[in-house]
Amino acid sequence: MHASEDGPHPHGHDHGHDHEHSALSGNALRVRALESILVEKGYVAPDALDAIIETYETRIGPRNGARVVARAWADPAFREWLRRDATAAIASLGYGGRQGEHMVAVENTPEEHNLVVCTLCSCYPWPVLGLPPAWYKSAAYRSRAVIDPRGVLADFGVTLPEARRIRVWDSTAEIRYLVLPMRPAGTEGWSEEALAELVTRDSMIGTGLARDPAGAPA
Amino acid sequence: MNGAQDLGGMMGFGPVVPEPETLRFHADWEKRALAVTLAAGAMGVWNIDTMRHTRESLPPAEYLSASYYEIWAKALANQLLADGLVSREELREGHAQEPPRPVPRVLQAADVAKTLAAGTQYERAAEAPAAFARGATVRTKVFHPTHHTRLPRYARGKRGVVEAVRGVFVFPDTNAHRQGEHPQWLYTVRFTGPELWGEGADPGLTVSIDAWESYLEAA
């Protein structure tokens, strides 16, 4: 299972990708055939396909979740609402729907770090984080997150204090989990817009931490 | 079923390779695979559990060597075949050759935003009280059904604590096979690292799954 089909490998890992180009063209042909047949038979509308892609390319992505986290950092009442009824609190910012129908927010603390996985498929909170990254759906992540989460975190360059407990949430049902990362020190009085810039996608899955104000991960 | 999808605890897949959050798709065909999968699902011929089962029914070697959008595309073809909406000949030729069958709905562009924003509710009204309360100690059952299930192998026969009672939800084990929703109480059950992984497990690790009531017994 490849984390990247034809893109660069940012961390220089060298996997055997000898078959990649034939697999790629095979996929392109397979998907083109499916699309042609479905459109010709009238089962799907071509402009609906374009509208779906446009939605997930431009409107639904991890900046939505970053705004939710920033609001929770800035507003204790919102944070309490998010912890009690995440679906409603998130909907109040205009996010909800497919693959986010039943949301739960889990909060990182100095004692406990949360990490979200779907070992059985690719369950992921789309309205707040967008489409899952390839690594989230990869065998490497799905197999190891539940047995060796510290090893997974190391792949992301994250080392937690040994005493910090790790709490892994395997999304085996229709509940979707959003990690509320710890607010970096030195951000007192920041606007929600500025705070949202510190919230990375990975920090909301639990494979990362929020950025610290100096630019490096906190 | 004990298919290749049930990956928790397996080893040997190598490191996780992070990628930037601005990267949405790696190739144009991935966008099309996403779109045709969602639009075809919106026909309302199958449900989410049916499609999950079709994906996990790919032969293990094929499943494990495919990227996720490739799994989606192959499973979509298999589902369309199983429901008689396309033929093998059509898939081979890449074009329609037979008239369409009637389907419940066709998603139109004007309805995409509304449909995605609505999602699908999986929670149902409770018809009986929950068997377990928050804090209860439970044990997951040991079973190996050939049908769809959402109890992963690594969490079968394990003692855990009910951390949350989530409500009553559609039961995937029957819904996947169009045998009805049979909604059940759903619980978040937390296990310790040593309970799941035994000797040498990280004592600071806990893992939870979301488990339907029939997966659990009192312990």
Q: Which domains does chain B have, with CATH numbers?
A: 28-118 (1.10.472.20), 123-218 (2.30.30.50)
ipTM computed for the complex:
0.98
Question: How many contacts, defined by CB atoms under 8 Å, are there between A and B?
Answer: 317
Q: What pLDDT is stored for residue A14 in this prediction? A: 41
Interface test with B, best of A2, A99, A172 (most B CBs within 10 A): A172
| Integer Cα distance of B170 and B174 in angstroms | 9
pLDDT digits (tens, 9 = 90+) for B13-38: 999 999 999 999 999 999 999 999 99
Identify the H or E element spanning B82.
helix B68-82
Instruction: Please report, for chain B, how many H helices and E strands are present, in that order.
Output: 8, 6
**The token pair that represents B25 in the structure block:** 């798709």
Q: What pLDDT is stored for residue B24 in this prediction? A: 93
Could B108 and A150 be called an inter-chain contact, meaning their C-beta atoms sit closer than 8 Å? Answer: no
Residue spans of chain A under pLDDT 50: 1-20, 218
Instruction: State the span(s) of chain A assigned CATH 3.90.330.10.
Output: 61-205
| Integer Cα distance of A9 and A30 in angstroms | 25
**The token pair that represents A135 in the structure block:** 């690594």
Q: Is pLDDT at B87 greater than 60 in this prediction?
A: yes
Q: Is pLDDT at B110 greater than 50 in this prediction?
A: yes
Q: Which of A36, A92, A121, A191 is catalytic?
A: A121
Q: What pLDDT is stored for residue A72 in this prediction? A: 98
* Portion of chain B with pLDDT greater than 70, in percent: 100
Q: Is B78 left (phi over 0), alpha (psi -120 to 50) or beta?
A: alpha
pLDDT digits (tens, 9 = 90+) for B51-74: 999 999 999 999 999 999 999 999
Q: What pLDDT is stored for residue A25 in this prediction? A: 75
Q: What pLDDT is stored for residue A185 in this prediction? A: 95
Q: What pLDDT is stored for residue A12 in this prediction? A: 38
Q: Indicate the pairing of strand A175-180 with strand A165-170.
A: unpaired
Q: Is pLDDT at B174 greater than 90 in this prediction?
A: yes
Topology of domain A61-205, CATH: Nitrile Hydratase; Chain A (3.90.330)
Q: Is pLDDT at B140 greater than 70 in this prediction?
A: yes
Q: What pLDDT is stored for residue A214 in this prediction? A: 82
Nearest CB among B27, B94, B111 relative to A36 is that of: B94
